[in-house]
Every structure is written in C-alpha cells, then in structure tokens.
Amino acid sequence: MHIPDGFLDPKTWIGCSAITVAMLSAAVRRTKEKLAEKQVPLMGVMAAFIFAAQMINFPIIGGTSGHLVGGVLAAVLFGPFSASIIMTVILLIQCFLFNDGGVTALGANILNMGIIAPFLGYAVYNALRGVGNVIASFFAAWVSVVAAAAACALELAVSGTSPLGVALPAMLFWHLFIGVGEGVITAAVVGYLERVKSDLLTEIVKV
C-alpha cells in the first residue's frame, strides 16, 4: 500500500501533504494538551512494536502476503490523534531508512495509513464496543485496511496513474483478505491485553 515516487502527480501529492500536515498539527496539539507525561514512553513502545510486527508477513491467497498496518491497534490504546503520530513516525522511518514508499508520496501514505486508517477504524471500534473489545477491534482493523486501500486507489486514479475502475477493484480485492489478517492480529493483541493488562485499555487517556 506504500505508494512509490512517480505514481502521484503534483496536485495529488501536494494536496494529500497539505491535509496530512493540517491533521498532524492538530494531533500534536491535542496530544500535548491531554496526554499524560508517563504515557509518552508507552507511545514509543507501541511504535516500536508495530514497526517490528510489520516486518512479519502473513500469507494470503494467490501466493501473495500482507503485514500488519497497526493504525487501529494504536488507536484502541491511545486514541486516533496519538495513533496518527505513532503511525507517522513509523512511516517516516520506513520511507527514509528503508525506501518503503516515496518521499513525494509520503504525505499520501501518511494520510492513508496514519490518518484515515486510525480515525475511521477508531470510529468503527467505538460504534461496536458494546459487543466486546476483541470483536470491535477485529472489524475496526478490517475496515481501516480496506478504507486505506480505497483511498490509495483514488489517489492513483486522480493522478492518472491507473483508472479508478482498474485500481479500485485491484486494491480492494487483495486488501479485503489482508484486512482479515490485520483484524486477527489486532484482535489477538487487544484480547491479550484485556486478559493480562486491562488497565492499558481503560486507564490510558485516549487522544
């Protein structure tokens, strides 16, 4: 889902970057105002965990594979604003140290995986919490991956890289399955924390 350099035209990557900068500015302000100082190291631990977990691919159909995105997992623990900061740090490291995603496309990649995924996923999670944290986190994670993939396809179509009728079905087909893997991993971690460290789900101020 990481868009490389050259796949987005200037109007698209500049527009996505502008939205991303505005959202991240709001996220930083909100986090500084509301997040307890002792929780900052926990955000760093979560960023490191998600980054490491993304290195592990899981198989899907057709011999392809996917990996954890992690936006909903971070949002469940810290809220969507803090999650967007966590995801941005991860995506910056991936871009500049591992060449995973283009520099010009960085704003779009952060928008898709660091803003759309955690914010929309967290909204779904909140709506479904009545059925339990584990089930809610599974569906929220699945929705977040599918939504981020759809946004990526739309950006490619707007840039003229690929027609929407081609890009959208192709992206959604694979990410419908990748989203299941995302949901299983997210639900497993949330379920584990619910059993052994339930205070992380209840005491942390979500921003």
Residue 3 lies in a domain: no
Using DSSP, state whether 177 is helix, strand or coil.
helix
Residue 140 lies in a domain: yes
Cα angle value 183/185/189 (rounded, 5°): 115
- In total, how many domains does the chain have? 1
Tens-digit pLDDT profile for the chain (207 aa)?
799 999 999 999 999 999 999 999 999 999 888 776 667 788 898 999 999 988 887 776 666 667 889 999 999 999 999 999 999 999 999 999 998 899 999 999 999 999 999 999 999 999 999 999 999 999 999 999 999 999 999 999 999 999 999 999 999 998 999 999 999 999 999 999 888 876 666 655 577
CATH number at residue 173: 1.10.1760.20
Residue 207 lies in a domain: no
Residue 66 lies in a domain: yes
Residue 5 lies in a domain: no
Residue 102 lies in a domain: yes
Range of the domain at 134: 10-202
E strands present in 52-206: 57-59, 65-67
Residue 1 lies in a domain: no
pTM of the model: 0.92
